[in-house]
Amino acid sequence: MRLDKLLAHMGYGSRKEVKTFIRKGYVLLNGEAVFDDDIKVDEENDEIILLDQSVEYQKQIYLLLNKPKGYVSATYDTKEPTVLDLIEETQKGLFPVGRLDKDTTGLLLITNDGKLAHELLSPKHHVAKTYELTFTGEFKNSFVNQFKEGIVLEDGYICKPALFTLIEPQRGKITIFEGKFHQIKRMMLALGMEVTSLRRISFGDLELPKDLAEGEYRPLTKEEIEHLKA
Ligand code: URA
């Protein structure tokens, strides 16, 4: 496989960006700097290092995106930009694991591993998702227990226990272990409050990296992938 194709496939940047990395000598192939972006590599056996980081080729792609507002969590949409428009990726078959609303920001996993996505989203596995939110309306201390006991949504659905921590009078943190449509907004509405901003800061063991700007993404590390699979 061509070196630039491999690096782009693995999510290290667009084809153009990774070509620049190679031409600047950021990539070591079996210990030697290479400057030739179309050089062919043996993806199974060659040692590839990009800026001190070992690049392990994987057919399956796992990217952690910091989703900005204004993008829908879909692979295709006739009207709106999708989260995949943010991924400069040559690999086909990528999709977001679950959904964040168009106006929600934060951690969204993008992969082509259908089996893992299915397991992470399965209600059986209760993957924890933590969000930071701002809201209008009065927060009463008794709400913390109501979240623990299970909020009843407007359609009668009883939510699984959730954890709410108030950070400031109109700002909090909430962890849920399921993923119903507009769940956080609906839970807050059920208690007479309205969400004004929502950002996912963790998904299972994965945390939104502080240095990842909105719209940016990075590949998961080998350890992060193993953890998710476990
Ligand atoms: N809950 C919501 O209401 N919106 C999201 O995007 C995620 C969780």
Residue 101 CB less than 6 A away from ligand 1? yes
Please check whether residues 132 and 196 belong to one and the same domain: yes
Look up the domain containing 134 and give its range.
128-203
Instruction: Please name every residue paired with 168 in a beta bridge, in sequence order, or none if there are none.
Output: 171
For residue range 13-26, what is the model confidence (pLDDT) as tens digits? 888 999 999 999 99
Residue 206 has pLDDT above 80, yes or no: yes
Question: Are 87 and 65 in contact, with CB atoms under 8 Å apart?
Answer: yes
Q: What domain count does the chain have?
A: 3
For residue range 174-188, what is the model confidence (pLDDT) as tens digits? 999 999 999 999 999
Please check whether residues 40 and 101 belong to one and the same domain: no
DSSP 98: S
Q: State the pLDDT at residue 47.
A: 95
Q: How far is the CA of 226 from the centre of ligand 1 (A)?
A: 26
Among 127, 177, 183, which is best to mutate for testing ligand 1, by the most ligand atoms less than 8 A from CB?
A: 183
Please check whether residues 188 and 137 belong to one and the same domain: yes
CATH number at residue 80: 3.30.70.580
Distance CA 57, CA 19 (A): 17
Please check whether residues 112 and 221 belong to one and the same domain: yes
CATH number at residue 162: 3.30.70.1560
Please check whether residues 140 and 177 belong to one and the same domain: yes
The mean of the pLDDT values for the chain is 94
Question: Are 206 and 109 in contact, with CB atoms under 8 Å apart?
Answer: yes
User: pTM score, two decimals?
Assistant: 0.83
CATH number at residue 17: 3.10.290.10
Please check whether residues 184 and 216 belong to one and the same domain: no
Please check whether residues 152 and 113 belong to one and the same domain: no
Question: Are 149 and 134 in contact, with CB atoms under 8 Å apart?
Answer: no
Confidence of residue 12 (pLDDT cuts 50, 70, 90): confident
Please check whether residues 144 and 166 belong to one and the same domain: yes
